[in-house]
Amino acid sequence: MGNATSKYKFREAIHALSAEDVPPEDAAFWDELWNLKTTTEEVFEMISPRDVRKLKVQRPLNLQTLLDQAVGNILQVITNPLAHQLDKARNCVRVLTRLLPFMLEDVDDSFVHDLCWSVSNAEGASAESGTATDSQALPASTQSGQSLGQLILHAIMHLLFLPSFTVDAQAFDAGFQADAPPASALWAEGLIARPSDDVIVRSLVWDRNRVEVLRLMLAVLCERLYQPA
């Protein structure tokens, strides 16, 4: 769970983003934001629909940086899933899940369309890993002319089976074959892994992380639900 200090600092950061432009280079601000201890409920409470709409209209560059860095941090964790970075990944997933429904509610919003699907924006959001802090840049391996929207979708797919986050830490140590994925990388018994196999490692923490990622997937894929009939 989060604590009162983290909640206060998180809310203050959201207020700051609404009040003034915060450059991506402000490492102290962004690193503190992403490393605060929060829960899903707290993120949803502290980022209101009004906050997102206000950012989109009055501080679009801050909203762009928020989205860029959330995706970039997740991709860095996917590339190098260190244990101390997993809390940051959870924070980023929660923030994206909260932001996207209110960003996608206007089908004619050219800013959001360009932000998510412009290839030039994805390239601009990506910085060489040797010249930027870890909270500011997308990993160099993702700099292949993909839009931010594509990167979000790719990040979700990886998070669903990320060792130590949603599956066992050694799930893919023996390699991976599409027709026979390792049972330790599966969420539950099914056609490949039978209950008697006793090879599926279970964890309540992984289950919670899976729910977080599935929420984000729904937020990304349910655009029509956020728009007027």
What is the per-residue pLDDT across 122-171, written as a single tens digit (0 to 9) for each?
444 444 444 444 444 443 334 557 889 999 999 999 999 999 999 888 87
Percent of the chain past pLDDT 90, that is, above it, reads: 54
What is the per-residue pLDDT across 73-106, written as a single tens digit (0 to 9) for each?
999 999 888 888 999 999 999 999 999 999 998 8
Q: What is the pLDDT of residue 126?
A: 46
Q: Where are the domains of the chain?
A: 1-118+144-164+203-225
d(CA 61, CA 54) in angstroms, rounded, equals 12
201: confidence class by pLDDT, cuts 50, 70, 90: confident
Which pTM does this prediction carry? 0.83
